[in-house]
Chains A and B, each alone.
Chain A
Amino acid sequence: MPKIKPRVPMGEQPPLQRIKNFKSVPYGYTEEEAAEEAARCIQCKKPKCEPACPVNIGIKEMNLLIAEKKFEEAYLLVKQDNMFPACSGRVCPQENQCEGDCILKKFDEPVAIGKLEAFIADWGQAHKIDVENTIVNNEDKHVAIVGSGPAGLACASECRKYGYAVTIYETLHKAGGVLQYGIPEFRLPKDIVDEEVRKLEDMGVKIVLNHTVGQNIYFYELTSQNDAVFLAMGAGAPKFMGIQGENPLDGVYSSNEFLIRANLMKAYKFPEWDTPIDVGETVAVIGAGNVAMDSARTALRLGAKEVHIIYRRTKEYAPAREEELHHALEEGIIFHELVNPIRFHGNDQGFIDYMELIKMELVEKKDGRLSPQPIEGSNFYLGVDTVIEALGTVPNRLFLDRAPEIKRDKKGVIIVDENHMTSVEGTFAGGDAASGAATVIKALGEGKRAAKSIHAYISMQNK
C-alpha cells in the first residue's frame, strides 16, 4: 500500500467572519487543489463508492478525469447521471454514502467526493459547458410532474431525455423546492440552484409556477391531459411540539416558516426585500437535524447573540450531517444534550419569554434501543426571545385531501409499488411524498428511477 497523502483541505470563511454574512461557507477547490485531491483516489477495481451513491455517479472515472485535469469530460460524465451536481455535491450526507464506503477510510480520510462533485459542477457552470442531450422526439406524449423539488427535477430531466413533453407544476413562485426555500444561501447559493433549474428549461422542460395541484389546478386535469403523472410534492408541512403555551406566543416559528422567510423570501435582505423576520437576542432551536442546524446558523447571521440547540438525545445521535454540526459548533452554537422542552411561557405582550425544560436520560429498551426518558424533578428554565421548532415535516394534506383515490399510509405518505406507481394507474410518486422526509439525493435517485418506470409504462401503452 503506497503512502496516502492527506486530504486537501478546503478553504472556508472563518467562523467569526461568516456569521455576519450569508455567503457560501466553503470557498470551493481551485483546479490545482481539485486535481490533487482527486489523485488521492486509488482507482479501486471494484469501487465501493459508486453503489453507495443513490444516483450511481461514475465516481471513479470522475476522480481520474479531474486528476488529469480533463474537467470538461469530468463535468459531462457527472451530468449524465445527475443533472444537479452543484446541489448534491453540497448537501449530500457523503459520510454515509460514497465517502462512507471509500476504501481510503480504513487508513485516512476518504476522498472528498462531495467537494469534488461540487467543484466540477461549478467549473462546468463557470465555463458555460453545454450538455448536449440527444433527445428522441416523443413530444406527442406528455408527462406532468407535481413539485419542482429534487425528485421532480430529476424525474423531469430524465423524462425529457426520453423525449416526452414535460411540464412541472410548482406551488411557490420559484422553482427548486427545498433547494430554494429550505437550504440556506450560505450552504447552497441560490444562483447555483437557479442555474441548474435553467439548464433544465433549456432542455425544454416547462415549469409552471404558482400552481398548486388540488387547489388551483385539479388532479383530474393532469391525469386526463397527460400520459403519466409524477407526484413529487415532498413532505412540506411542519410539525409542532404541541406543548402547553405554544400558539398564543409570538416569536415561536416552525423551522419551515423561519427558513421560507429567510431563503425564499430573502428576509435577510429586509427592508430592501419586503418580507420581515424577527429574531431576538436569545434563540432556541428545538431538534438536531440539518434543518435545525440551518435554522440555528441562519438565526446567528440575522443577529442573534446566543443560539441554543435543544436536543433530547446526545450529540452523536443528532441526525444532522457531520459537517453541518461541525460548522454550527464552530460558529458558537450552544448545544444542549439530553433536554426536552415541556412548556413555553410568554410575557404580557404575548411574546415568548422563557422555556421550561426537563433533563432526559437514555434508557435501554427491551429491543436494545436507547430511548430518551425525562428525569423527574429535573426541570429548569431558559430565557429565550425566539423559538424555532425543527421537528421534521409531514406530507402536506392540501393535495392528498383532494385526491382520495391515491392510497397513502396513516402518516399521509403515498404508497407506491416497486416501480414507483401509486394506486392510480399511470400516476407515479417519489421523493419525500412517497418515502417520508429523507435527503435531497434520495429524492433525486427516486425521481430518476421513477422516470425509467414512466418510460416503460408509456412505451407499453403504445404497443
Chain B
Amino acid sequence: MSFKITKMIDLDSIDFLVDVEAPEVAERFHPGQFVMLMTRVEGERIPMSVMKVEDGTISMFIRKLGKTSKELRDGMTSFENVIGPLGHGIEEKVYGNIVVVSDAVCGHAENYAICEALGKIEGNHLTSIQTFASKKEIYPDEYLTKSIADRHFITTEDGSFGDEGSYITTIKRLLDNGVKIDYVFGGGKLPTMKAISTILAINNIDNLFTTRQMMVDGSGMCGACRVYLDGEMKLACVDGPMFDSRKINWTRAMKRYGMFKKEEKKANDYYEAHKGGCGQCQK
C-alpha cells in the first residue's frame, strides 16, 4: 500500500506539517480521533493526531525528532500505511463557553480539529490557547487556531510573546476575571495536563484531555496504553484517547515514557549510518 505525501512544510524549528492522501480515513474522521502511521513496511505503528481533513487528504503535525522525521526530511514521498480513524471522537454538540488548550505538536493539531468542528455549531463560544517555547517557535498564522476560534491566546514558555508560561497562566487569568468556562478540551505535554487537572477539579469544570500513551496496535490488543481512571484500568486506544483529566492518575501515566529511550537512540544511529552516502557497505 502507499499513501502519497502531497505537502510538507516547516511549522517551526522542530515541527512540520504533512499532508497525505488517505480518502477512506478522511471520510470517517471525527475530531478527537487519531490515526496510526507506518512510514515503511519495516516501520513502527506510530499514533498521530490529525489537524484537518479536506478532499480526501489529512493534515498532521509531526515533530522533527526521532528516525521517522529524519526519513521525512530525507525525501520520503509516501507512507506505507495510514490506518484509522481510531479511538472515540468528541461529541459534536453545544457545550457553551469552551476553552481549547495545547502546548505540543499533537495537541496543536487536536486543538485545530476541535475548534473547527465545534465552531460550526451555534451556541458554542470558543477560546483557544496555544503554548509555544518562544516567540520564534510560534507556527505560521494559518496553522494556528486564530481564524477559527472566537478568541485566541498565545503563551510562550520563556515569556517572549503573550502570557509567560503554559496555557495554565491564561486559564487562571480568565477564571480570576470571572469568565465562565463550561468545558475544556486539551492535549500536549503530560506535566501540564497533570497541573491543569487540579485547577479543573477545584473549579469543577468538565473536560476531556488527550491521554494518548505509547501504543503498538492501537486497537486494544497490546495493553501498552493502559491508564488508570479512578483506579480502573482503561486503554487509551479504545476507551479514549480523551478522558476527564480529573480522573486520570497522571503520575502513573507520566512514568511510561522512559521505556524505549535507549532503543530510540539506537534507531537514530542506525538510520544515520545506513541512509546512504558513506559507501562503507559497498566495500
Q: Which residues of A are at the interface with B, using a C-beta cutoff of 8 A?
A: 171-173, 181, 209-210, 212, 215-216, 236-238, 240, 242, 247-251, 253-254, 256-257, 260-261, 264-266, 269-278, 349-351, 396-398
Contact = CB atoms under 8 A, between A and B. Distances in A.
Nearest to B269: A271
B38 interface: yes
Given A216-B28, A237-B220, A250 B259 contact: yes
| Interface of B: prevailing SS | mixed
Interface of B: 1, 24-25, 28, 38-40, 42-45, 67-68, 81, 83-86, 216-217, 219-224, 226, 228, 233, 238, 251-252, 255-256, 258-260, 262-264, 266-267, 269-271
Given A216-B24, A260-B216, A351-B258, A236 B226 contact: no
22 contacts: A171-B219, A173-B45, A210-B83, A215-B219, A216-B25, A250-B258, A250-B259, A257-B216, A260-B217, A261-B222, A265-B44, A271-B263, A274-B267, A275-B216, A276-B263, A278-B262, A350-B255, A396-B219, A396-B238, A397-B220, A397-B238, A398-B238
A274 B220 contact: no
Nearest to A247: B252
Given A274-B267, A278-B262, A398-B220, A240 B38 contact: no
Contact of A238 (B43, B83, B86, B221): B221
Q: Lowest 7 CB-CB distances: which A-B pairs, in order?
A: A276-B263, A271-B270, A257-B222, A350-B255, A274-B44, A250-B259, A254-B223
A264 B221 CA distance: 12
Contacts of B256: 247-248, 250, 350
Name the residue among B83, B220, B224 with the largest chain A CB count within 10 angstroms: B220
Given A273-B42, A275-B45, 5 more contacts: A172-B217, A236-B219, A272-B42, A276-B263, A276-B264
Contacts of A397: 220, 238
A173 B81 contact: yes
A257 B235 CA distance: 13
B223 A271 contact: no
A274 B45 CA distance: 9
A257 B266 contact: no
Contact of A266 (B42, B216, B228): B42
Nearest to B235: A237
A273 B86 CA distance: 24
Contacts of B255: 248-250, 350
